[in-house]
Amino acid sequence: MKIKLVNSIFYLYILLILGSVAIRIFNLFAPIAYYPFAIFWSESGRIYNSYQIFNLFGADAIESFPWLDPARAILDSLAFLIPSVTILKWRVWVASISIITMAVTSFLIVLRAIRNQKLMPARRLIFLILFTLFGTLFFFQGPIYAHLLTGIVPILLFYRQDKPKITLIIVAICAIWSGLTRVNWFFMPAIIASLLYVLKQPRQKMPAWRYFCWPFIWGMTNLIISLPIYFWALGKANQPSILNPELKYGFEVAKLWPNAGYTFGLIPGIFLVTAPMLFIIMRYLWLQRHSIDKLRIAFLLLLLSGLAAGSTLMSLRAGGGFDLHNYDTVLLVVFIIAIQIGFREVQPDEDNIFSGSIFFHPITIGILLIVPIFLSVRAIKPAPVYDYVAAQDAIKNINLALKENASKQESQVLFIDYRPLVVFGQVPPRPIYNSYEKVELMEMAMAQNKLYFQQFTDTLSQHKFDLIITPLLWQGEQLQGENPFWYENNSWSNYVVAPILEYYESGYTNREADLQIYYPKP
């Protein structure tokens, strides 16, 4: 009778978490429509970057290379393999791989921990489904992006404790991919391999250098491969590194605590999301302090602290956003450690004082589910409504402007935004001027890249572009309390809007579609 009651509770948990995952999926797919303009701020740039990758080796090859997260552009570019691809199909692809990668990553982490449990097949399946869904929901709280998880899946799939050389090959392959992602993700292949090693490998009185020999080799291999690839990609894109000391990004300390951009604030937010799992981790390490070597415990604590510090720094940087996506490394590592501990898969150095899995207790699982379910319900929002009439009017006027301009020899048109109109054939095919895309301009403005904007201003002063197609340009500074994105707004206004308005004037404005066409001033 008791077993049936416990199983009923687990089935209830599965239904609750399925509903929460469904909410997250709805929020991801609800904005998707056949709307010709961007449905989120950086979408136009992402579509164009993926188009660049897809056309690198084609007859219509584009010479430049995406400089910001090229791995994401590679993954997004696979959408162009879909027959008769449209902007709608591209959006469905991007949303789908986001869900799939989080679910697959969660599944592999849980499977690695649960496969050695002595359970009846039906019970094993219940826990596999339950914790895979929980992990997927947990990753949504960042979220953790698809292109980042793609480079970790092979480690989770092929890592073997007794085959460090095979792991070295897998780390090397994944390091190629991680070099095309973000700086704070460079070492994740080696970190995940080392984490799995430390969790499962007792020290057995080995000297520290010998115990950490393979993690060191994996880490150095990761560095030697990822860093050159990162700088190669920047060189192909002709862009400076985020590590360049000449780039002076602003840092917004106010993000740490509750603010207009993020209700919880970074510190309370990441604590709220990870607290139940951190409690499991810290309690276990404390109770097992005599059974697990102190060097292994120190590694886990230093790893968590280092990732949290680096993630906080990235989040405070201007452009770091107002959610927990820069804490992706923390979320992934916390989940792996907690799952291994929860299913008692951590190998102690001495006799273990515990037996059985704490995850077999329904109260423990219930506590774990409270926060992600609450945040999912809290995230429910209606589908956006798009103004298709305004969008079509804007496209008609862009085509008129391009037609009038077509007779000019060596005519150049700058699409600061709206490049998908060219990609998906809603304006006449034409070469796209690669530089000065909206995301690139904003990134350089936030970094106060004076050399970049001197070249930008010189280009505008020479009236190199016969047309500039851009979102509405508004010049004016905002105070910190007026707008969560006040720093981004002021950087954009000073570095982008000011020089455009000095040398160009608006010939068409569509406020409903957030679009303007600018012409050189006489």
Task: Give me the DSSP letters along 114-137.
Answer: HTTS---HHHHHHHHHHHHHHHHH
pLDDT per residue over 484-518, tens digit each?
889 999 999 999 999 999 999 999 999 999 999 99
- Sorted by sequence, the CB contacts under 8 Å of residue 271 that are 6+ apart come out as 278
Both structure tokens of 33: 């429509």
Q: How confident is the model at residue 120 (pLDDT cuts 50, 70, 90)?
A: confident
Query: Structure pTM?
Result: 0.95
Nearest to 359 by CA among 4, 13, 93: 13
Residue 10 predicted with pLDDT over 50: yes
Residue 320 predicted with pLDDT over 50: yes
Q: Please give the pLDDT value at position 1.
A: 47
Q: Stretch 447-463: mean pLDDT, rounded?
A: 94
Count the Cβ atoms, other than its own, within 10 Å of residue 171: 28
Q: Please give the pLDDT value at position 59.
A: 46
Q: Stretch 229-250: mean pLDDT, rounded?
A: 76
Q: Please give the pLDDT value at position 242.
A: 66
Q: Stretch 252-275: mean pLDDT, rounded?
A: 93
- Sorted by sequence, the CB contacts under 8 Å of residue 517 that are 6+ apart come out as 397, 398, 401, 467, 468, 469, 506, 507, 508
Pairing between strand 467-470 and 504-510? unpaired
Contact (CB, 8 A) for 460 and 416: no
C-alpha 232/C-alpha 160 separation (Å) is 31
Pairing between strand 467-470 and 515-520? antiparallel
pLDDT per residue over 36-85, tens digit each?
999 999 999 999 999 999 987 654 555 677 888 899 999 999 999 999 99
Q: Stretch 13-28: mean pLDDT, rounded?
A: 96
Sheet holding 515-520, edge to edge: 413-415, 467-470, 515-520, 504-510
Q: Please give the pLDDT value at position 62.
A: 58
Cis-peptide, bond into residue 428, ω within 30° of zero: no
Give me the chain's average pLDDT, please.
Answer: 92
C-alpha 443/C-alpha 82 separation (Å) is 31
Please give the share of the chain, as a percent, with pLDDT higher than 90. 74
Count the Cβ atoms, other than its own, within 10 Å of residue 293: 20
Q: Please give the pLDDT value at position 488.
A: 92
**What b/e readout covers 328-345, taking b as 16+ CB neighbours within 10 angstroms?**
bbbbbbbbbbbbbbbbbb
Residue 179 predicted with pLDDT over 50: yes
Q: Please give the pLDDT value at position 244.
A: 66
**3-state secondary structure (DSSP) of residue 82:** coil
pLDDT per residue over 379-399, tens digit each?
998 999 999 999 999 999 999
Residue 401 predicted with pLDDT over 90: yes
pLDDT per residue over 183-201, tens digit each?
889 999 999 999 999 999 9
Residue 248 predicted with pLDDT over 90: no
Lowest mean pLDDT among 239-253, 260-274, 342-356: 239-253
